[in-house]
Amino acid sequence: MLVGIMGGTFDPIHTGHLIAAERARVEAGLDEVWLMPAGVPPHKVNAPKATMQQRWEMVCLAAEGNPFFRPIDIEISKGGVSYSIDTIELLRKEYPTTEFAYIIGADMVQYLPQWHRIDDIVRHIRFIGLARPGYELDMAHMSENIRNRVTIVPMPLVEISSTAIREERGQKRSVRYLVPEAVNGYMEVNRLYEA
């Protein structure tokens, strides 16, 4: 079994995440995609605006209806900083016969060389990289051991980010269809990201 893992802060999860996950699934022949909210993301200075529970619930709502998508709480239930290498070691222990690939957008692709213990990470898992507006997918400057482990799959450029959604909501502007309908409703009911 080949499983794609899409990690993220998901503050909130949006349609760009879901399109990327589905493209990766189809193009890379994944059996499943696991959507994995991060506890405290190591690369972010600013803490998430929604609570961990709210980010988790929105991921669950977003995964509904796609039989190949599954939310996993491995990082949020562990608590604290979630380094990918620790998560990968946990996953390999818990699912010894499953092969994992990380699904990442172009911003994360560019950031790969700086990932904590990246040389160990690329020994165990592959990456599926997808285009994102404003970020290069060029990996010429990266070392071969990293570059060889990244497969780029086609993705329509989707100019949606959680940051922009939080800002729009802060100004009481609609983000309908930028997020799944159920997530939009959840943000409304919980008054998420309102000023």
Contact string 172-191 vs ligand ATP (x = CB under 6 A): --------------------
Is residue 50 within the footprint of ligand ATP (CB under 6 A)? no
Residue appearing with tokens 């165990």:
124
Angle at 80 between CA 75 and CA 86, to 5 degrees: 50
Phi then psi dihedrals of residue 106, to 5 deg: -60, -35
Is residue 10 within the footprint of ligand ATP (CB under 6 A)? yes
Task: Report DSSP state, residue 22.
Answer: H
Is residue 132 within the footprint of ligand ATP (CB under 6 A)? yes
Nearest CA-CA partner of 33 in 153, 177, 161, 184: 153
Chain CA centroid to CA 164, Å: 16
Phi then psi dihedrals of residue 32, to 5 deg: -150, 160
Nearest-approach distance from CB 96 to ligand ATP, in angstroms: 26
Is residue 162 within the footprint of ligand ATP (CB under 6 A)? yes
For ligand ATP, the binding residues in 81-110 under the rule CB under 6 A are 104-105, 107-108
In this complex, which beta carbon is closest to ligand ATP, that of residue 46 or of residue 97?
46
Is residue 128 within the footprint of ligand ATP (CB under 6 A)? no
Q: What span, in angstroms and rounded, lies between the C-alpha atoms of 112 and 63?
A: 26
Q: Which residues would be at the binding site for ligand ATP (CB under 6 A)?
A: 8-11, 16-17, 20, 104-105, 107-108, 130, 132, 158, 160-163
